[in-house]
Amino acid sequence: MADTTVTTAPDEHTTTGLPNTKLAMWLFLASECLLFGALITTYLLYRGQSLVGPYPADVFDIAYTSVSSFVLLASSLTMVLALSSAQRGDAIRMRLWLLTTAFLGMSFVGGQVYEFTVFYEEGLSITTNLFGTTFYVLTGFHGVHVTVGILMLLSLVGMSGANRLPDDPSFPVEMVGLYWHFVDIVWIVIFAVVYLVPTPNPA
Amino acid sequence: MAQDVDEQAPGIGPAPLASGHGGASHDGHPSAKQYIRIGIVLAVLTGLEVWLSYSGITGALLITALLGAAMLKFVLVVLWFMHLRFDDRRYARFFLMGLAGAVTLYLVVLMVFGVFKR
């Protein structure tokens, strides 16, 4: 391996040859699979077991939630475009794509808050029935994760503007990107399992 | 910050960081156009899911189709947007360990409580 060069991300040498930060991020995401798996499983365990309404079919607006899903998917695309710009050393475009991603994330969370408000006005609170409890806890946890992701994105933009990112900012952008895409794949599962798969008749 | 690999004595001391996305080497990564193509495929699959939910198809066929489309979207995002297709395989192993553990554990829980018999 005569001319092979290895370019390090942060200043680190590790026994695995992999950056510890990235390894830790993947381990964190693996643990998050268990968290969201537990929440989705709880939703499925109590699906169709509510004794009083409103039931999913009474409150869900699939067209509205589909738009939210498109928005979150689009944010994953803008996130990788931000990474692509960072890898090319184009800081302006990187910031632009990061801001776009944050904006799309805020649109998603705003849509979720609106959806929760409508559901509440239709009589579904977190204590109304098993559907309300499991639905709000699952989607609420996801919404909190999206909000944390937005804060991380805005922090990246702020740090980039203040020249506090490394000369090659692609590593921190990639780390935030991994988290953001994970939040997206969790929504992919929630959208299909919670919203699209029909709920059986109430018990 | 480049480091010549030949300076590293084999088996002694910490290994150099793997090339690829772990470091700042970006060789072999998708271009912006490829990302956009994947984004379009994801949008089409989402459209397909929504169409399926309105199509009047019911029962096991609908559930299989919806979960199949969701799984395809999941895999596309993980492989392309999260770069597991291009990165060191150890990242994939770590992630799959958690994912497979979660899926196995919760499938057992769902089976124990008879969710699939309802």
Q: What is the pLDDT of residues A54-107, one digit of tens each?
A: 999 999 999 999 999 999 999 999 999 999 999 999 999 999 999 999 999 999
For chain A, say whether B9 makes contact (Cβ under 8 Å): no
Q: What pLDDT does residue A166 have? A: 87
Confidence of residue A49 (pLDDT cuts 50, 70, 90): confident
Distance of CA A34 to the CA centre of its chain: 15
CATH number of the domain enclosing A112 = 1.20.120.80
Chain B, 52 to 81: residues with Cβ < 8 Å from chain A are 52-54, 58, 62-63, 66-67, 69-70, 73-74, 77-78, 80-81
Q: What pLDDT does residue A11 have? A: 55
Using CB atoms, which residue from B22, B49, B53 is nearest to A9? B22
Give the ipTM.
Answer: 0.89
Q: Is residue A54 part of a domain?
A: no
**Cα distance between residue B34 and residue B40, in whole Å:** 10
Q: Is residue A106 part of a domain?
A: yes
For chain A, say whether B48 makes contact (Cβ under 8 Å): no
| Cβ-based neighbour number of residue A152 at 10 Å | 18
**Cα distance between residue A7 and residue B26, in whole Å:** 10
For chain B, say whether A2 makes contact (Cβ under 8 Å): yes
Q: What is the span of the domain harbouring residue A188?
A: 20-47+59-196
Q: Is the pLDDT of residue A174 over 90?
A: yes
- Please tell me which residue, B39 or A6, carries the higher pLDDT value: B39
- Specify the 3-state DSSP secondary structure of A200: coil
β-bridge partners, A6: B3
Dihedral angle sign, alpha carbons of residues B1, B25, A168, A174: negative
Q: Which amino acid is at A104?
A: L
Task: Choose the weakest-confidence range: A15-29, B18-32, B70-84.
Answer: B18-32
| Cβ-based neighbour number of residue B75 at 10 Å | 13
Q: How many CA atoms lie less than 13 Å away from B22 in the CB half-sphere?
A: 26
